[in-house]
Amino acid sequence: MPKSKGRKKAKKRPTPPSHKPTAVDTKGPSPMWYVVLMFGLMALGIVVILLNYVGLLPGATANGYLYAGLAMIGVGFAMTMNYR
């Protein structure tokens, strides 16, 4: 009966990369004004929605104030994507 050749053994070490890896995170932490603006927009959006609900904004309760408040909150949350 013929003998099987068997499997070849895998190399124990992977080949090293041909180029040096570059640093991925070259940027520093976010500036303080960015953090303040991010949380300030979210807080201001909540305040605008609450004041519209209570009826303290001029022009009675209007959908425009609600949309403006939601837009401020949305922009604040979108800014969290770039926070470092």
Assess if residue 62 is contained within a domain.
Answer: yes
Domain total of the chain? 1
Q: What is the C-alpha radius of gyration for the chain, rounded to an integer number of angstroms? A: 29
Note whether 41 and 79 are within 8 A (CB).
Answer: yes
Listed residue (72, 78, 35) closest to 50, CA to CA:
72
Token pair 């305040």: residue: 47
pTM of the model: 0.68
Assess if residue 31 is contained within a domain.
Answer: no
Q: What is the pLDDT of residues 14-36, one digit of tens each?
A: 777 787 767 666 788 999 999 99
Note whether 48 and 68 are within 8 A (CB).
Answer: yes
Assess if residue 2 is contained within a domain.
Answer: no
Q: What is the pLDDT of residues 39-65, one digit of tens each?
A: 999 999 999 999 999 989 898 888 999
**Domain of 71?**
39-82
Note whether 31 and 58 are within 8 A (CB).
Answer: no
Assess if residue 53 is contained within a domain.
Answer: yes
